[in-house]
Structure 1
Amino acid sequence: MCILLVHINPSPRPGQYRLVLVNNRDETYARPTQPAHLWPSGIYAGMDLEPGREGGTWLGINEGGKIGCLLNIFQSANNFGKNGESRGSLVVEYLQSPKCGDEYLNEVSKSSSKYNPFSLITLDPENNSYTLNYYTSRPENKQQLDPGTYGFGNSAFDKPFRKVEKGQKKLQEIVCSLGRTEQEQELIEALQAMMQDAEPNIPDPKLSEQGCGYPEEYIRALSSIWVTCRKVGYGSRTTTVILVSEDGRVVMRERTMRHPVNIDSLQWDENTFTFSINRS
């Protein structure tokens, strides 16, 4: 369970942002993960270190400003295929590919059946703004979205969970009040605070339907933007903010639980990366 919130400005003026993005990664606390860093291939991202699936990521940006994000589609445990290929490689391959999001997702759609259900969101810098494409494997759906404010979670895009709707509305409010570069630190802090919202958003019929067979306590935990489910050792581990200003300056800030995670005595790592989009 993860959540991605994105605001794209179609025609930013000086001092405004082309893109405001924030993501929570939810994962088992025991899964080994390397914090965000600059990869030799020119990608800024965290890295999955799970044996057999190492080398993938859930969210990343390359030096040219391309951004990719992977979200799973929530389903009952009985429907999860243990032998599905690693989906984290999809983000890496997109960020290393010269193809735009639309082309890459067309390619992915031809072989999506070998993975457990997922959504892949791609963002390409274009004409001083961004072009957003997304693909969901089951039920299959591929679209390009106009600039605006969007929320993505672990369901079909047109059937969002309540927490995604709440986050999307809150992001609009934050960008409206703090969406200028001179307020950058306040903006980042407000985005991080929004993603730490642990209030349950229930009842949520869509979440309950997709999670059929799970205990009600687990569904309740998953209904929050910030997830904590101690009994199964699972929850929100990482919050990442990515800002791209009108002049192409990128700020990426990650706040993540230090591995190995001790939920009773948490330690946090925070990394910030700043660079200008390479237009070559």
Structure 2
Amino acid sequence: MCLIAFAWQLSGRPLLLLGNRDEFHARPTRPATFWNEEGHPELLAGKDLEAGGTWLGVTRSGRFAALTNIRSPGARRGPRSRGSLVLDYLTGRSAPEDYLNALVDDLAGYAGFNLLVGNMQQLWYLNSDEARPQALTPGLYGLSNAALNSPWPKLQALRQGLDQHLDSESDSDALLGLLRDSREYPDEQLPDSGVGLEWERRLSATFIRGEDYGTRASSLLAIDADGSITFVERNFGPNGQELGESGWIL
């Protein structure tokens, strides 16, 4: 994913997460579904059909994980797919803390990433550049292609929007609507992440419309206090064309 805002252990709910996945439209992708054919019928997630991993997923037991790439000048490359980091946690049994601690000595195999792994009781975060897993305390967070809560304009806007919905009975349409903000921000507010000003402008929007590259999926993941899980995904094609919506309550 490229942009996530999430509330952890707030308003009587373990998790409320919103996120957009931005990617080249030519990259083959399977929308979210249960991974029955792969032998993981408990797993609900999209699938990157090029590398085999995923960017966001949840299991029936309440294990969840999400990933964003780190974008920075001189960012390193890695031989292995970062999507496997999400998949390996979701299909394994390691506790969140143990899983991230085991990764710390193997970070050179991956390009830069932010990784969230959790369950009903705990949520852990790892930034591969910092290499220090940390448990997240209850709060409202935002994550894009830098460190946790970096003050990128679109991250701040999405986090503020989510905050305004926490104490209301907002439905999925209202929440997912926060992810459709296509405004671009002034140059002086943009980060320098090594992609050039034209791309910084384009990537500054919460929802990116483009013929070749753009927002491919918008997702909502909610875990309630009783353990029920809601997952909704909207998929998009070139120039923001709506391709459909799927939703599950587990």
Give the TM-score normalised by structure 2.
Answer: 0.91
Cα deviation, 1:57-105, whole Å, max 9, x if unaligned, reads 00000111011001000134x6453x52111111111011111111100
Over aligned residues, Cα RMSD in angstroms? 2.0
| Pair 1:247-2:238 in alignment | no
Q: Distance in 2 between matches of 1:204 and 1:45?
A: 37
Give 1:174's aligned residue.
Answer: 165
Q: Distance in 1 between matches of 2:76 and 2:103?
A: 20
Q: Secondary structure at the match of 2:141?
A: strand
Give 1:117's aligned residue.
Answer: 112
Q: Distance in 2 between matches of 1:31 and 1:11?
A: 38
Q: Distance in 2 between matches of 1:174 and 1:72?
A: 27
**Pair 43,162 (structure 1): closer, same or farther in 2 beyond 3 Å:** same
Q: Distance in 2 between matches of 1:229 and 1:163?
A: 17
Q: Secondary structure at the match of 1:107?
A: helix
Query: Where does 1:178-197 land on structure 2 (aligned, <5 Å)?
Result: 178=169, 186-197=170-181
Q: Distance in 2 between matches of 1:5 and 1:132?
A: 14
Q: Which amino acid aligns with 1:106?
A: N
Cα deviation, 1:6-26, whole Å, max 9, x if unaligned, reads 1123572xxxx3321111001
Q: Which amino acid aligns with 2:209?
A: T
| Pair 1:271-2:246 in alignment | yes
Q: Secondary structure at the match of 1:228?
A: coil
- The Cα of 1:217 is off from its aligned counterpart by 2.4
Q: Distance in 1 between matches of 2:188 and 2:179?
A: 19
| Pair 1:165-2:153 in alignment | no
Structure 1 runs, 4 residues or longer, greater than 6 Å off: none
Q: Distance in 1 between matches of 2:239 and 2:158?
A: 27
| Paired positions, count | 246
- The Cα of 1:39 is off from its aligned counterpart by 1.0
8 Å contact kept, 1:162–1:204? no
State the structure with more CA Rg: 1
**Pair 168,46 (structure 1): closer, same or farther in 2 beyond 3 Å:** same
Gaps of 5+ in 2: none
Cα deviation, 1:158-197, whole Å, max 9, x if unaligned, reads 534221112111111011233xxxxxxx421111110000
Cα deviation, 1:178-219, whole Å, max 9, x if unaligned, reads 3xxxxxxx42111111000011233455x53223x51x2211
The counterpart of 2:131, out of the listed 122, 132, 140, is 140
The percentage of counterpart residues that share the same residue type is 31
**Pair 265,121 (structure 1): closer, same or farther in 2 beyond 3 Å:** closer
Q: Secondary structure at the match of 2:158?
A: helix
Give 1:278's aligned residue.
Answer: none
Q: Secondary structure at the match of 1:119?
A: strand
Q: Distance in 2 between matches of 1:265 and 1:169?
A: 23
Give the TM-score normalised by structure 1.
Answer: 0.82
Q: Which amino acid aligns with 2:235?
A: T
